[in-house]
Structure 1
Amino acid sequence: MSKRAENPLGYEPIAPLMLKYAIPSIISGLVGAIYNIVDQLFIGRGVGMLGNAATNVAFPLVTFTIAMSLLIGVGTASNFNLQLGARNEEKAKRIFGTGISLSIIFGLIITFFAIMLLPKLLIIFGSTEEVYPYAIEYASITTKGTLFLMASIVFPILIRADGSPRFAMIVALTGAILNMILDPIFIFIFNMGIAGAAWATVISQAVSTIMGVYYFLVKLQSFDLTRSMFNPVQKCSRFSCALDIFKLGLSPLVNHFSIMIMTIVLNQSLNYYGKLSALVAQYPWLWSE
């Protein structure tokens, strides 16, 4: 195997690798958590309580997309590194190209069905009459960026598997920080309301996607991308590469799918029991705009 195809996961000591890969992942996770809190603060201040509720109602669709992204990203990265470790460079290339192809295909499929079924989905997810106008305005924008959301999750995972955890961290941090910058600009300065928060999310995910594409075209370490790598039918008989990816990515898929179900059940429960709460009569101003 050529020097270009060597991956630090194959020859560096385990302890330094743990630090090299764990620390950027922890930082990305912390910044992502802070972003979610700050994002809700901006929406709460600029739009109000119904804006926060609208993002929560749209969250199951986001969770489903994240679940599918992890199915593809984790499955691809795991198989990719296993094949590189076995010195099977050609199979590693096919796995890598199949993973990128699947992320694009699934992103487009989810986008299509989400746009077609969005009004019904929001009701299933727990939207009320008061929340629905905000939820449909927010989700109708974010669903158009589903492909960017999926790519912004899958690409950093593949970049990390290629041996560049720092660049993967930079991709994730850039999207989160840019979103925190655009939120107040769109919500308060441009007075776009909940739509501003949605566009800030889509734009930041698009930037992360562009950074991932740049890495694959310019900085990929293991090999150079070729057009034939993105044809899973030709290179993987009976979709064997895709099946390998799905097998190793099943665990995070099930985990996040469970979170989606839990969120839907919680939203529906709050809709029912919230109306029965004594707080509604005691503090009516909390439920008025």
Structure 2
Amino acid sequence: MKEQSQRLGTQPIPKLLANLSIPAMIGMFVMALYNVIDTLFIARGVGILGVSGVSIGFPVMMIMMAIAAAVGIGGASVISRRLGENKPDEADRVFGNVLFSILIVSLFGFIGAFTFLEPLLHLFGATENIMPYAKDYLFPIMLGAVFFSFAFTTNNIIRSEGNSRFAMMTMIIPAVLNIILDPIFIFTLNMGVQGAALATVISQASVSIVILFYFLRGKSSLNVHLSYLRPQWKVLKEVVTIGMPAFIRQVSGSGMMIAINLMLIKFGGEFEVGVFGIVQKLAMFTIMPMIGVLQGMQPIVGYNYGAQNFARLKETVQLGLKVVSIISAGIFIIMMVFPENLMNIFTGDNATIETGAGAIRIMFALSMLIGAQVVSGGLYQALGMAKPALVLSMARQVLFLIPLVLILPYAFGVNGVWIAFPIADLLAFVLSMVFLFRDRDLFFKSKPSQDSEYKAAPTP
């Protein structure tokens, strides 16, 4: 086992969490920056209808990412625990099954580009004016599904073995390349939203080649064996079961955007959909640092649980919760004080700035509670505890936000969509605290209680 994996059980927790989280945070920050700049170029180069088209098409992209997340995060959890148990051959076998899954997922995305793309966009709320932009954006994305799936999945795998710096690079490379290509395709070649999509596909294809060489040249603690690419249903079942919360979280995010777009069109119009497209990109930007901290925590938690080192697990959880709480407080201050400045980055239109700033202040009213929500579900997932991880992953978006989005506009109009966010944040936070308090012996004491309601997934 390489040193990058062994340090998960030996290096001091504050230093280890910093070494794993800071690269993850930088990578997530750059990816979020790319999303913001991508939307900025589309808003400036195409207009608010272009942003609306991307906003309508983005849920389809999120579904593809959801499948990759289920495989990648589920596989990462299993692999980190196998490495902690000093079972490298079994970790390699899990990795092989993950690669097999990527190929199958990518095939469905490729076929979907030629079969059900337009009906899907109609279902997701595309109007006659928005449809051309949504199709132009999504068609290249679905053709390049193999690159998205491979890069997104293997990023989690690389992090699970403790190589956070290279995982960071696999996020930075495509983001920077995309930022460079966007203005060339959108403005110089006058390709509009299709140019933005093409820039994204090329960027993901480039980093996929870099990642492939990483594994083939022996830089990883994992090895690629052709025999392990043959699917083993027992392995796949464990990976998918643990990864299901990530799938639910991503799909629910897609469902949330669909519900929001439909209600905005019903109670507002295409303008409000475009405004939300901008605000949503800002929201993704704010949550990325907390996800980076979680990604740094997960391999430490999984490895030390597998090694039965519960004191290190406890220290990791406590430190991680403190860090994300500080980040959440910072996000709240920024969103309350500078929303007009943030909107002005994307557009000079006063109506768009005013509407977006008002939406931001309402949506982020309880954003200081987001950090605990992000970490709680991820902790259960890192330990292979699928049931609580699934519930917490569904809580904010499926159990609370989507129903509120579908109900509140009838009482408050378009503002009802924005009001749904802080209410959902409060309810999800309370639920997270209930789960963490119930399993406090597992996360906050030196040794977990044998009476805990939830047990980690057993090692086959």
Specify if TM > 0.5: yes
- The residue number in structure 2 matching 1:100 is 99
CA apart distance, 1:265: 0.7
User: Larger deviation: 69-78 or 210-219?
Assistant: 210-219
Pick the aligned partner of 2:241 from 233, 244, 247: 247
CA apart distance, 1:219: 4.1
User: Structure 2, unaligned stretches of length 5 or more?
Assistant: 272-348, 353-460
CA apart distance, 1:169: 0.5
Q: Residues 224-252 of structure 1, C-alpha deviation per residue, up to 9 Å, x if partnerless?
A: 322112112xxx3xx00000101211111
Structure 1 residue identity aligned to 2:11: E
Cα distance in 2, alignment partners of residues 276 and 59 from structure 1: 15
CA apart distance, 1:57: 0.8
Q: Residues 178-198 of structure 1, C-alpha deviation per residue, up to 9 Å, x if partnerless?
A: 101100011111121221111
Cα distance in 1, alignment partners of residues 260 and 160 from structure 2: 36
CA apart distance, 1:136: 1.1
Pick the aligned partner of 1:271 from 265, 268, 281: 265
Cα distance in 2, alignment partners of residues 144 and 83 from structure 1: 34
| SS of structure 1 residue aligned to 2:191 | coil
Structure 2 residue identity aligned to 1:271: I
Structure 1 residue identity aligned to 2:223: D
**Is the aligned partner of 1:191 residue 2:190?**
yes
User: Larger deviation: 211-220 or 128-137?
Assistant: 211-220
Give the 5 Å matches for 1:273-288. Answer: 273-275=267-269
- The residue number in structure 2 matching 1:280 is none
Give the 5 Å matches for 1:169-208. Answer: 169-208=168-207
Pick the aligned partner of 2:256 from 259, 262, 267: 262
Give the 5 Å matches for 1:102-181. Answer: 102-181=101-180
Cα distance in 2, alignment partners of residues 81 and 153 from structure 1: 17
- The residue number in structure 1 matching 2:25 is 26
Native 8 Å contact 2:155 2:167 kept in 1 = yes
Cα distance in 1, alignment partners of residues 38 and 166 from structure 2: 24
Q: Residues 92-127 of structure 1, C-alpha deviation per residue, up to 9 Å, x if partnerless?
A: 111011111111211212332343110011011111
Q: 1:194 to 1:169 in 2, by over 3 A?
A: same
| SS of structure 1 residue aligned to 2:127 | coil
- The residue number in structure 2 matching 1:14 is 13
Cα distance in 1, alignment partners of residues 149 and 106 from structure 2: 6
CA apart distance, 1:268: 0.9
- The residue number in structure 2 matching 1:65 is 64
Native 8 Å contact 1:79 1:95 kept in 2 = yes
Q: Residues 163-219 of structure 1, C-alpha deviation per residue, up to 9 Å, x if partnerless?
A: 211011011101011101100011111121221111101101111211111111114
Structure 2 residue identity aligned to 1:200: A
Structure 1 residue identity aligned to 2:68: S
Count of equivalent residues: 274
Structure 1 residue identity aligned to 2:44: R
| SS of structure 2 residue aligned to 1:180 | helix
Cα distance in 1, alignment partners of residues 118 and 2 from structure 2: 53
Native 8 Å contact 2:124 2:258 kept in 1 = yes
Cα distance in 1, alignment partners of residues 48 and 211 from structure 2: 35
Cα distance in 2, alignment partners of residues 224 and 62 from structure 1: 30
Q: Percent identity?
A: 35
Give the 5 Å matches for 1:79-98. Answer: 79-98=78-97
Cα distance in 2, alignment partners of residues 39 and 57 from structure 1: 15
CA apart distance, 1:221: 3.0
CA apart distance, 1:275: 4.4
- The residue number in structure 1 matching 2:208 is 209
**Root-mean-square deviation (Å):** 2.2
User: Structure 1, unaligned stretches of length 5 or more?
Assistant: 278-282
Cα distance in 2, alignment partners of residues 3 and 252 from structure 1: 28
| SS of structure 2 residue aligned to 1:12 | coil
- The residue number in structure 2 matching 1:54 is 53
CA apart distance, 1:4: 7.9
Cα distance in 1, alignment partners of residues 24 and 36 from structure 2: 19
CA apart distance, 1:13: 3.2
Structure 1 residue identity aligned to 2:241: K
Q: 1:4 to 1:217 in 2, by over 3 A?
A: farther
CA apart distance, 1:6: 5.5
Native 8 Å contact 2:5 2:161 kept in 1 = no
Structure 2 residue identity aligned to 1:17: L
| SS of structure 2 residue aligned to 1:107 | helix
TM, length-normalised to structure 2? 0.57
User: Larger deviation: 75-84 or 156-165?
Assistant: 156-165
Structure 2 residue identity aligned to 1:241: V
Cα distance in 1, alignment partners of residues 35 and 4 from structure 2: 37
